[in-house]
Structure 1
Amino acid sequence: MIDFHCHLDLYPDPQDMAIAVQHSGIGLLSVTTTPSAWPGTSRLAHQRPAIRTALGLHPQLAHERKNELHLFDKYLSETRFVGEIGLDGSPALRHARNDQLQVFEHILAACNRAGGRILSIHSRGAASAVLDCLERYDPSNIPVFHWFSGTVTELKRAIDNDSWFSVGPAMLAGAKGRNLVAKIPQNRVLLETDGPFAKSRNSPLNPWDIALARQELTQVWNLDEDRVTRILTENEKAILR
Protein backbone atom coordinates (compact mmCIF):
# COMPACT_ATOMS: atom_id res chain seq x y z
CA MET A 1 0.00 0.00 0.00
CA ILE A 2 0.98 3.61 -0.55
CA ASP A 3 0.64 6.70 1.62
CA PHE A 4 -0.26 9.23 -1.07
CA HIS A 5 0.15 12.36 1.05
CA CYS A 6 2.71 12.70 3.81
CA HIS A 7 5.09 15.50 4.85
CA LEU A 8 8.19 13.36 5.29
CA ASP A 9 10.52 16.34 5.66
CA LEU A 10 8.54 17.75 8.58
CA TYR A 11 8.95 14.83 10.99
CA PRO A 12 11.40 15.48 13.87
CA ASP A 13 14.00 13.25 12.22
CA PRO A 14 13.18 12.93 8.49
CA GLN A 15 16.19 10.73 7.74
CA ASP A 16 15.22 8.16 10.36
CA MET A 17 11.62 8.24 9.13
CA ALA A 18 12.75 7.69 5.54
CA ILE A 19 14.77 4.65 6.62
CA ALA A 20 11.78 3.30 8.56
CA VAL A 21 9.47 3.76 5.55
CA GLN A 22 11.86 1.92 3.25
CA HIS A 23 11.94 -1.00 5.70
CA SER A 24 8.19 -0.98 6.37
CA GLY A 25 7.08 -2.44 3.06
CA ILE A 26 4.82 0.48 2.15
CA GLY A 27 5.16 3.19 -0.47
CA LEU A 28 5.17 6.91 0.24
CA LEU A 29 4.49 10.10 -1.67
CA SER A 30 6.45 12.77 0.17
CA VAL A 31 4.82 16.15 -0.51
CA THR A 32 6.58 19.48 -0.13
CA THR A 33 5.20 22.86 0.88
CA THR A 34 7.71 25.11 -0.91
CA PRO A 35 9.85 24.67 -4.04
CA SER A 36 12.95 25.61 -2.06
CA ALA A 37 12.38 22.47 0.04
CA TRP A 38 12.67 20.25 -3.03
CA PRO A 39 16.44 19.58 -3.05
CA GLY A 40 16.60 18.51 0.60
CA THR A 41 13.34 16.58 0.59
CA SER A 42 14.04 14.74 -2.64
CA ARG A 43 17.39 13.60 -1.20
CA LEU A 44 15.44 11.66 1.42
CA ALA A 45 14.25 9.40 -1.39
CA HIS A 46 17.74 8.79 -2.79
CA GLN A 47 18.29 5.04 -3.17
CA ARG A 48 14.94 4.44 -1.49
CA PRO A 49 12.61 3.23 -4.25
CA ALA A 50 9.62 3.06 -1.89
CA ILE A 51 9.63 6.87 -1.62
CA ARG A 52 8.67 9.38 -4.28
CA THR A 53 8.78 13.16 -3.82
CA ALA A 54 6.19 15.67 -4.97
CA LEU A 55 7.07 19.28 -5.82
CA GLY A 56 4.70 21.75 -4.18
CA LEU A 57 3.81 25.22 -3.01
CA HIS A 58 1.20 25.09 -0.26
CA PRO A 59 -1.67 27.58 -0.64
CA GLN A 60 -1.24 28.75 2.94
CA LEU A 61 2.26 29.90 1.96
CA ALA A 62 1.43 31.25 -1.49
CA HIS A 63 1.52 34.92 -0.47
CA GLU A 64 4.90 34.47 1.21
CA ARG A 65 6.58 32.17 -1.31
CA LYS A 66 5.15 33.12 -4.70
CA ASN A 67 8.63 34.40 -5.55
CA GLU A 68 9.70 30.72 -5.61
CA LEU A 69 7.66 29.89 -8.71
CA HIS A 70 10.82 30.07 -10.81
CA LEU A 71 12.17 27.23 -8.64
CA PHE A 72 8.99 25.26 -9.23
CA ASP A 73 9.53 25.60 -12.98
CA LYS A 74 13.19 24.62 -12.57
CA TYR A 75 12.53 21.39 -10.67
CA LEU A 76 9.30 20.25 -12.36
CA SER A 77 11.06 18.04 -14.89
CA GLU A 78 12.53 15.97 -12.03
CA THR A 79 9.23 14.47 -10.87
CA ARG A 80 5.88 13.22 -12.09
CA PHE A 81 4.22 14.23 -8.81
CA VAL A 82 3.15 17.73 -7.71
CA GLY A 83 1.88 18.64 -4.27
CA GLU A 84 0.91 20.02 -1.92
CA ILE A 85 -0.82 22.64 -4.06
CA GLY A 86 -4.30 24.14 -4.30
CA LEU A 87 -6.41 26.80 -2.63
CA ASP A 88 -7.43 27.46 0.97
CA GLY A 89 -10.63 29.38 1.68
CA SER A 90 -10.05 29.87 5.40
CA PRO A 91 -11.16 33.34 6.61
CA ALA A 92 -7.67 34.05 7.96
CA LEU A 93 -6.29 33.71 4.42
CA ARG A 94 -8.85 35.85 2.63
CA HIS A 95 -6.21 38.54 2.12
CA ALA A 96 -4.07 36.07 0.18
CA ARG A 97 -6.77 34.91 -2.23
CA ASN A 98 -5.28 36.55 -5.33
CA ASP A 99 -1.82 35.24 -4.53
CA GLN A 100 -3.19 31.72 -4.09
CA LEU A 101 -4.95 31.88 -7.45
CA GLN A 102 -1.87 33.24 -9.17
CA VAL A 103 0.30 30.45 -7.78
CA PHE A 104 -2.21 27.65 -8.45
CA GLU A 105 -2.89 28.79 -12.01
CA HIS A 106 0.84 29.07 -12.70
CA ILE A 107 1.41 25.53 -11.41
CA LEU A 108 -1.46 24.04 -13.42
CA ALA A 109 -0.25 25.73 -16.60
CA ALA A 110 3.32 24.58 -16.02
CA CYS A 111 2.17 21.00 -15.43
CA ASN A 112 0.09 21.04 -18.60
CA ARG A 113 3.04 22.29 -20.63
CA ALA A 114 5.15 19.51 -19.14
CA GLY A 115 2.68 16.87 -20.33
CA GLY A 116 0.68 16.45 -17.12
CA ARG A 117 1.43 15.45 -13.56
CA ILE A 118 -0.27 13.63 -10.68
CA LEU A 119 -1.45 16.44 -8.39
CA SER A 120 -2.02 16.22 -4.62
CA ILE A 121 -4.49 19.03 -4.01
CA HIS A 122 -5.47 21.00 -0.91
CA SER A 123 -9.01 22.39 -1.19
CA ARG A 124 -10.19 23.29 2.32
CA GLY A 125 -13.05 25.77 2.04
CA ALA A 126 -12.29 26.18 -1.66
CA ALA A 127 -13.36 23.03 -3.50
CA SER A 128 -15.49 24.88 -6.04
CA ALA A 129 -12.72 27.37 -6.77
CA VAL A 130 -10.21 24.55 -7.20
CA LEU A 131 -12.54 22.80 -9.63
CA ASP A 132 -13.04 26.05 -11.56
CA CYS A 133 -9.27 26.23 -12.03
CA LEU A 134 -8.88 22.58 -12.98
CA GLU A 135 -11.61 22.86 -15.60
CA ARG A 136 -9.77 25.69 -17.35
CA TYR A 137 -6.98 23.31 -18.34
CA ASP A 138 -6.86 20.21 -20.51
CA PRO A 139 -7.17 16.90 -18.66
CA SER A 140 -3.50 15.91 -18.91
CA ASN A 141 -3.13 16.42 -15.15
CA ILE A 142 -4.50 13.82 -12.74
CA PRO A 143 -6.05 15.57 -9.69
CA VAL A 144 -6.03 13.81 -6.33
CA PHE A 145 -8.04 15.68 -3.70
CA HIS A 146 -6.24 15.30 -0.39
CA TRP A 147 -8.59 15.09 2.65
CA PHE A 148 -11.61 16.40 0.71
CA SER A 149 -13.95 18.37 2.99
CA GLY A 150 -16.31 20.09 0.57
CA THR A 151 -20.04 19.66 0.10
CA VAL A 152 -21.75 16.66 -1.46
CA THR A 153 -22.48 18.80 -4.53
CA GLU A 154 -18.80 19.72 -4.84
CA LEU A 155 -17.85 16.08 -4.37
CA LYS A 156 -20.14 15.02 -7.21
CA ARG A 157 -18.62 17.69 -9.44
CA ALA A 158 -15.11 16.47 -8.61
CA ILE A 159 -16.12 12.87 -9.34
CA ASP A 160 -17.65 13.93 -12.66
CA ASN A 161 -14.31 15.55 -13.50
CA ASP A 162 -12.47 12.23 -13.05
CA SER A 163 -10.77 13.24 -9.82
CA TRP A 164 -9.20 10.89 -7.32
CA PHE A 165 -9.34 11.19 -3.53
CA SER A 166 -6.77 10.32 -0.86
CA VAL A 167 -8.36 9.56 2.50
CA GLY A 168 -6.74 8.95 5.86
CA PRO A 169 -7.47 7.99 9.45
CA ALA A 170 -8.17 11.60 10.48
CA MET A 171 -10.73 12.10 7.70
CA LEU A 172 -12.40 8.77 8.47
CA ALA A 173 -12.60 9.51 12.20
CA GLY A 174 -15.58 11.86 11.79
CA ALA A 175 -19.11 11.33 10.49
CA LYS A 176 -18.80 13.94 7.73
CA GLY A 177 -15.63 12.41 6.37
CA ARG A 178 -17.04 8.90 6.45
CA ASN A 179 -20.22 10.03 4.68
CA LEU A 180 -18.20 11.71 1.94
CA VAL A 181 -15.96 8.68 1.47
CA ALA A 182 -19.02 6.44 1.21
CA LYS A 183 -20.12 8.52 -1.82
CA ILE A 184 -16.78 8.30 -3.63
CA PRO A 185 -16.53 5.50 -6.23
CA GLN A 186 -14.39 2.78 -4.70
CA ASN A 187 -12.09 2.76 -7.73
CA ARG A 188 -11.13 6.41 -7.08
CA VAL A 189 -9.95 6.05 -3.46
CA LEU A 190 -6.32 6.13 -2.32
CA LEU A 191 -4.84 6.18 1.18
CA GLU A 192 -2.96 8.95 2.97
CA THR A 193 -1.92 9.97 6.48
CA ASP A 194 -1.06 13.69 6.14
CA GLY A 195 1.50 13.00 8.86
CA PRO A 196 2.89 14.52 10.94
CA PHE A 197 0.10 17.15 10.84
CA ALA A 198 -2.79 14.71 11.15
CA LYS A 199 -3.04 12.85 14.41
CA SER A 200 -4.61 9.81 16.00
CA ARG A 201 -5.18 9.84 19.76
CA ASN A 202 -3.14 13.05 19.98
CA SER A 203 -0.08 11.46 18.37
CA PRO A 204 1.16 12.33 14.86
CA LEU A 205 0.31 9.72 12.27
CA ASN A 206 3.18 7.76 10.76
CA PRO A 207 3.14 6.61 7.12
CA TRP A 208 2.36 2.99 8.03
CA ASP A 209 -0.78 4.20 9.79
CA ILE A 210 -2.52 4.03 6.42
CA ALA A 211 -3.44 0.60 7.78
CA LEU A 212 -5.84 2.40 10.13
CA ALA A 213 -7.57 3.98 7.14
CA ARG A 214 -7.80 0.63 5.39
CA GLN A 215 -9.44 -0.82 8.48
CA GLU A 216 -11.98 2.04 8.58
CA LEU A 217 -12.81 1.43 4.92
CA THR A 218 -13.87 -2.13 5.72
CA GLN A 219 -16.71 -0.58 7.73
CA VAL A 220 -17.55 2.27 5.34
CA TRP A 221 -17.67 -0.11 2.37
CA ASN A 222 -18.97 -3.12 4.31
CA LEU A 223 -16.27 -5.33 2.82
CA ASP A 224 -13.69 -7.64 4.35
CA GLU A 225 -10.10 -6.46 4.66
CA ASP A 226 -8.76 -8.65 1.85
CA ARG A 227 -11.29 -7.20 -0.59
CA VAL A 228 -10.51 -3.64 0.51
CA THR A 229 -6.79 -4.30 0.09
CA ARG A 230 -7.34 -5.64 -3.44
CA ILE A 231 -9.38 -2.58 -4.41
CA LEU A 232 -6.77 -0.18 -3.05
CA THR A 233 -3.93 -2.06 -4.72
CA GLU A 234 -5.70 -1.94 -8.09
CA ASN A 235 -6.34 1.78 -7.61
CA GLU A 236 -2.65 2.42 -6.92
CA LYS A 237 -1.67 0.50 -10.03
CA ALA A 238 -4.24 2.39 -12.11
CA ILE A 239 -3.18 5.90 -11.14
CA LEU A 240 0.55 5.10 -11.48
CA ARG A 241 0.15 3.27 -14.79
Structure 2
Amino acid sequence: MIDFHCHLDLFPEPAAVVDELGLRGVGVLSVTTTPAAWAGTTLLAKGCPLIRTALGFHPELAGARYRELALFDRLLSETRFVGEVGLDGSPQQLSSWDSQLLVFNHVLGSCERAGGKILSVHSRRAASQVLDCLDRHPGLNKVVLHWFSGTKDELRRAAAQGCWFSVGPAMLASARGRSLVSEIPIDRLLVETDGPFAKKGRRPLRPWDVTDVIDGLADLWRTTRQRAAQTIRANEAVLLSH
Protein backbone atom coordinates (compact mmCIF):
# COMPACT_ATOMS: atom_id res chain seq x y z
CA MET A 1 0.00 0.00 0.00
CA ILE A 2 1.23 3.53 -0.83
CA ASP A 3 0.43 6.78 0.95
CA PHE A 4 0.19 8.86 -2.21
CA HIS A 5 0.53 12.27 -0.59
CA CYS A 6 2.58 12.79 2.56
CA HIS A 7 4.88 15.61 3.70
CA LEU A 8 7.50 13.30 5.14
CA ASP A 9 10.04 16.08 5.68
CA LEU A 10 7.64 18.09 7.85
CA PHE A 11 7.11 15.53 10.60
CA PRO A 12 8.83 16.52 13.87
CA GLU A 13 10.99 13.36 13.65
CA PRO A 14 10.96 12.24 10.01
CA ALA A 15 13.75 9.69 10.49
CA ALA A 16 11.60 7.80 13.00
CA VAL A 17 8.72 7.74 10.50
CA VAL A 18 11.08 6.40 7.83
CA ASP A 19 12.25 3.62 10.14
CA GLU A 20 8.66 2.62 10.87
CA LEU A 21 7.84 2.52 7.15
CA GLY A 22 10.40 -0.20 6.70
CA LEU A 23 8.91 -2.24 9.52
CA ARG A 24 5.35 -1.87 8.25
CA GLY A 25 6.10 -2.15 4.51
CA VAL A 26 4.15 0.98 3.63
CA GLY A 27 5.18 3.04 0.61
CA VAL A 28 5.14 6.84 0.48
CA LEU A 29 5.03 9.54 -2.12
CA SER A 30 7.01 12.16 -0.21
CA VAL A 31 5.85 15.51 -1.60
CA THR A 32 7.79 18.75 -1.23
CA THR A 33 6.58 22.34 -1.02
CA THR A 34 9.37 24.15 -2.90
CA PRO A 35 12.23 23.19 -5.20
CA ALA A 36 14.65 24.36 -2.51
CA ALA A 37 13.34 21.59 -0.22
CA TRP A 38 14.22 18.87 -2.73
CA ALA A 39 17.80 18.19 -1.67
CA GLY A 40 17.04 17.72 2.00
CA THR A 41 13.88 15.69 1.41
CA THR A 42 15.56 13.24 -0.97
CA LEU A 43 18.05 12.38 1.78
CA LEU A 44 15.18 10.91 3.81
CA ALA A 45 14.63 8.33 1.07
CA LYS A 46 18.25 7.22 0.98
CA GLY A 47 18.38 3.47 1.55
CA CYS A 48 14.57 3.18 1.69
CA PRO A 49 13.10 1.92 -1.60
CA LEU A 50 9.58 2.35 -0.22
CA ILE A 51 9.89 6.15 -0.55
CA ARG A 52 9.58 8.13 -3.76
CA THR A 53 10.27 11.86 -3.53
CA ALA A 54 8.24 14.35 -5.56
CA LEU A 55 9.51 17.74 -6.71
CA GLY A 56 6.99 20.34 -5.59
CA PHE A 57 5.95 23.98 -5.73
CA HIS A 58 3.03 24.50 -3.37
CA PRO A 59 0.56 27.22 -4.47
CA GLU A 60 0.64 28.83 -1.03
CA LEU A 61 4.33 29.57 -1.59
CA ALA A 62 4.14 30.61 -5.24
CA GLY A 63 4.00 34.32 -4.49
CA ALA A 64 7.12 34.33 -2.33
CA ARG A 65 9.15 31.65 -4.14
CA TYR A 66 8.37 31.99 -7.86
CA ARG A 67 12.03 32.73 -8.56
CA GLU A 68 12.70 29.03 -7.84
CA LEU A 69 11.13 28.04 -11.17
CA ALA A 70 14.59 27.83 -12.76
CA LEU A 71 15.65 25.46 -9.97
CA PHE A 72 12.50 23.41 -10.55
CA ASP A 73 13.45 22.97 -14.20
CA ARG A 74 17.00 21.95 -13.33
CA LEU A 75 15.80 19.29 -10.88
CA LEU A 76 12.91 17.89 -12.90
CA SER A 77 14.96 15.22 -14.65
CA GLU A 78 15.87 13.69 -11.26
CA THR A 79 12.38 12.35 -10.51
CA ARG A 80 9.31 10.88 -12.12
CA PHE A 81 7.08 12.47 -9.48
CA VAL A 82 5.92 16.10 -9.15
CA GLY A 83 4.00 17.46 -6.18
CA GLU A 84 2.66 19.23 -4.36
CA VAL A 85 1.70 21.66 -7.13
CA GLY A 86 -1.54 23.34 -8.13
CA LEU A 87 -3.77 26.30 -7.31
CA ASP A 88 -5.45 27.52 -4.11
CA GLY A 89 -8.49 29.79 -4.32
CA SER A 90 -8.92 30.28 -0.57
CA PRO A 91 -9.54 33.94 0.35
CA GLN A 92 -6.19 34.25 2.14
CA GLN A 93 -4.35 33.04 -0.99
CA LEU A 94 -6.03 35.23 -3.60
CA SER A 95 -3.39 37.98 -3.35
CA SER A 96 -0.93 35.56 -4.92
CA TRP A 97 -3.29 34.28 -7.62
CA ASP A 98 -1.32 35.68 -10.57
CA SER A 99 1.88 34.15 -9.21
CA GLN A 100 0.07 30.84 -8.62
CA LEU A 101 -1.06 30.75 -12.25
CA LEU A 102 2.41 31.64 -13.46
CA VAL A 103 4.04 28.88 -11.41
CA PHE A 104 1.43 26.19 -12.08
CA ASN A 105 1.32 26.76 -15.83
CA HIS A 106 5.11 26.77 -15.96
CA VAL A 107 5.24 23.51 -14.00
CA LEU A 108 2.66 21.88 -16.27
CA GLY A 109 4.51 22.98 -19.39
CA SER A 110 7.84 21.69 -18.09
CA CYS A 111 6.28 18.36 -17.10
CA GLU A 112 4.56 17.96 -20.44
CA ARG A 113 7.79 18.57 -22.32
CA ALA A 114 9.70 16.18 -20.06
CA GLY A 115 7.09 13.41 -20.44
CA GLY A 116 6.25 10.51 -18.16
CA LYS A 117 5.63 12.52 -14.99
CA ILE A 118 3.10 11.65 -12.27
CA LEU A 119 1.68 14.78 -10.61
CA SER A 120 0.03 15.24 -7.20
CA VAL A 121 -2.13 18.35 -7.55
CA HIS A 122 -3.71 20.70 -5.00
CA SER A 123 -7.04 22.24 -6.08
CA ARG A 124 -8.68 23.69 -2.96
CA ARG A 125 -11.40 26.15 -4.01
CA ALA A 126 -9.87 26.17 -7.50
CA ALA A 127 -10.91 22.88 -9.09
CA SER A 128 -12.33 24.42 -12.28
CA GLN A 129 -9.28 26.63 -12.74
CA VAL A 130 -6.94 23.66 -12.21
CA LEU A 131 -8.88 21.66 -14.81
CA ASP A 132 -8.74 24.60 -17.23
CA CYS A 133 -4.95 24.63 -16.89
CA LEU A 134 -4.77 20.87 -17.39
CA ASP A 135 -6.90 21.20 -20.52
CA ARG A 136 -4.09 23.24 -22.06
CA HIS A 137 -1.59 20.44 -21.42
CA PRO A 138 -3.12 17.30 -22.93
CA GLY A 139 0.22 15.49 -22.82
CA LEU A 140 -0.13 15.05 -19.06
CA ASN A 141 -2.05 11.82 -18.51
CA LYS A 142 -1.09 10.88 -14.95
CA VAL A 143 -2.49 13.66 -12.79
CA VAL A 144 -3.65 12.81 -9.26
CA LEU A 145 -5.98 15.31 -7.61
CA HIS A 146 -5.08 15.24 -3.93
CA TRP A 147 -7.86 15.66 -1.31
CA PHE A 148 -10.37 16.81 -3.93
CA SER A 149 -13.02 19.13 -2.46
CA GLY A 150 -14.74 20.58 -5.51
CA THR A 151 -18.30 19.99 -6.66
CA LYS A 152 -19.63 16.75 -8.10
CA ASP A 153 -19.78 18.37 -11.54
CA GLU A 154 -16.12 19.33 -11.23
CA LEU A 155 -15.27 15.81 -10.09
CA ARG A 156 -17.03 14.32 -13.11
CA ARG A 157 -15.22 16.75 -15.39
CA ALA A 158 -11.90 15.76 -13.82
CA ALA A 159 -12.68 12.07 -14.28
CA ALA A 160 -13.64 12.69 -17.91
CA GLN A 161 -10.25 14.39 -18.38
CA GLY A 162 -8.54 11.25 -17.10
CA CYS A 163 -7.57 12.50 -13.64
CA TRP A 164 -6.91 10.22 -10.69
CA PHE A 165 -7.86 11.02 -7.08
CA SER A 166 -6.07 10.39 -3.78
CA VAL A 167 -8.38 10.08 -0.78
CA GLY A 168 -7.45 10.37 2.88
CA PRO A 169 -9.16 9.61 6.20
CA ALA A 170 -10.26 13.24 6.55
CA MET A 171 -12.19 13.06 3.29
CA LEU A 172 -14.14 10.03 4.52
CA ALA A 173 -14.91 11.65 7.86
CA SER A 174 -17.75 13.83 6.55
CA ALA A 175 -20.97 13.08 4.71
CA ARG A 176 -20.01 15.48 1.91
CA GLY A 177 -16.60 13.87 1.55
CA ARG A 178 -18.07 10.37 1.38
CA SER A 179 -20.57 11.57 -1.18
CA LEU A 180 -17.73 12.89 -3.35
CA VAL A 181 -15.71 9.70 -2.94
CA SER A 182 -18.72 7.67 -4.07
CA GLU A 183 -18.54 9.54 -7.41
CA ILE A 184 -14.87 8.72 -8.05
CA PRO A 185 -14.36 5.93 -10.59
CA ILE A 186 -13.15 2.96 -8.55
CA ASP A 187 -10.26 2.31 -10.95
CA ARG A 188 -8.95 5.88 -10.51
CA LEU A 189 -8.77 6.01 -6.72
CA LEU A 190 -5.63 6.00 -4.56
CA VAL A 191 -5.10 6.54 -0.82
CA GLU A 192 -3.21 9.26 1.05
CA THR A 193 -2.85 10.83 4.49
CA ASP A 194 -1.54 14.37 3.86
CA GLY A 195 0.34 13.92 7.12
CA PRO A 196 1.41 15.67 9.21
CA PHE A 197 -1.13 18.38 8.24
CA ALA A 198 -4.17 16.09 8.40
CA LYS A 199 -4.84 14.69 11.84
CA LYS A 200 -6.63 11.89 13.63
CA GLY A 201 -7.92 13.59 16.73
CA ARG A 202 -4.94 15.66 17.85
CA ARG A 203 -2.34 13.34 16.36
CA PRO A 204 -0.86 13.95 12.91
CA LEU A 205 -1.69 11.19 10.47
CA ARG A 206 1.23 8.92 9.62
CA PRO A 207 1.64 6.99 6.35
CA TRP A 208 0.37 3.69 7.78
CA ASP A 209 -2.91 5.40 8.68
CA VAL A 210 -3.96 4.77 5.06
CA THR A 211 -5.43 1.58 6.51
CA ASP A 212 -8.23 3.78 7.86
CA VAL A 213 -9.05 4.72 4.27
CA ILE A 214 -9.27 1.07 3.26
CA ASP A 215 -11.79 0.45 6.03
CA GLY A 216 -13.83 3.45 4.91
CA LEU A 217 -13.76 2.43 1.25
CA ALA A 218 -14.79 -1.13 2.07
CA ASP A 219 -17.83 0.27 3.89
CA LEU A 220 -18.63 2.72 1.08
CA TRP A 221 -18.26 0.09 -1.65
CA ARG A 222 -20.06 -2.56 0.42
CA THR A 223 -17.24 -5.00 0.03
CA THR A 224 -14.63 -6.65 2.21
CA ARG A 225 -11.53 -4.91 3.46
CA GLN A 226 -9.41 -7.41 1.54
CA ARG A 227 -11.12 -6.61 -1.77
CA ALA A 228 -10.87 -2.87 -1.18
CA ALA A 229 -7.14 -3.22 -0.51
CA GLN A 230 -6.72 -5.35 -3.65
CA THR A 231 -8.46 -2.66 -5.70
CA ILE A 232 -6.16 0.06 -4.41
CA ARG A 233 -3.04 -2.02 -5.01
CA ALA A 234 -4.21 -2.76 -8.56
CA ASN A 235 -4.78 0.95 -9.16
CA GLU A 236 -1.29 1.77 -7.85
CA ALA A 237 0.21 -0.78 -10.22
CA VAL A 238 -1.60 0.71 -13.22
CA LEU A 239 -0.58 4.28 -12.40
CA LEU A 240 3.05 3.35 -11.82
CA SER A 241 3.38 1.17 -14.91
CA HIS A 242 5.34 2.36 -17.97
| Corresponding residue for residue 151 of structure 1 | 151
Q: Which moved more, 1:125-134 or 1:22-31?
A: 22-31
Counterpart Cα distance in 2 of 1:93 and 1:140:
26
How big is the shift at 1:142? Answer: 1.1
2:59 maps to which residue? 59
Report SS of the residue matched to 1:183. Answer: coil
Q: Distance in 1 between matches of 2:23 and 2:188?
A: 27
1:50 aligns with 2:56: no
- What corresponds to 1:193 in structure 2? 193
In structure 2, what is the equivalent of residue 41 of structure 1?
41
Q: Distance in 2 between matches of 1:142 and 1:193?
A: 20
1:179 aligns with 2:179: yes
The aligned residue for residue 232 of structure 1 is 232
Alignment of 1:19-98 (within 5 A): 19-98=19-98
1:20 is paired with a residue whose SS is helix
Q: Which residue identity lines up with residue 129 of structure 2 in the other structure?
A: A
Per-residue deviation, residues 38-88 of structure 1 (Å, max 9, x unmatched): 000011111110000000010011001101111111110010000000000
Structure 1's unaligned 5+ residue stretches are none
Match of 1:214 in 2: 214
8 Å contact from structure 2 (residues 86, 104) kept in 1: yes
Report the TM-score, using the length of structure 1 for normalisation: 0.98
Partner of residue 138, structure 2: 138
Contact kept, 8 Å, 1:22 with 1:51, in 2: the verdict is no
Contact 1:8 1:195 in 2 (8 A): yes
Structure 2 letter corresponding to 1:185: P
Tell me the number of residue pairs that the alignment of Structure 1 and Structure 2 aligns: 241
* AA in 2 matched with 1:132: D
Name the SS for the 2:170 alignment partner: helix
Please report how far the alpha carbon of residue 141 of structure 1 lies from its aligned counterpart in structure 2 after TM superposition: 4.0
- Whole-Å separation in 1 of the counterparts to 2:60 and 2:8: 18
RMSD (Å), alpha carbons: 0.8
In the superposition, the TM-score normalised over structure 2's length comes to: 0.98
Offset at residue 140 of structure 1 (A): 3.2
Q: Using the alignment, how far apart are the partners of 2:109 and 2:219 within structure 1?
A: 39
Displacement over 4 Å in runs of 4+: none
Amino acid across the alignment from 2:24: S
Deviation track 1:126-164 (CA, whole Å, cap 9, x = no partner) reads 000000000001233411000000001100000000100
Q: Is the 8 A contact 1:119 1:141 kept in 2?
A: no
Structure 2 CA distance for aligned equivalents of residues 174 and 42 of structure 1: 34
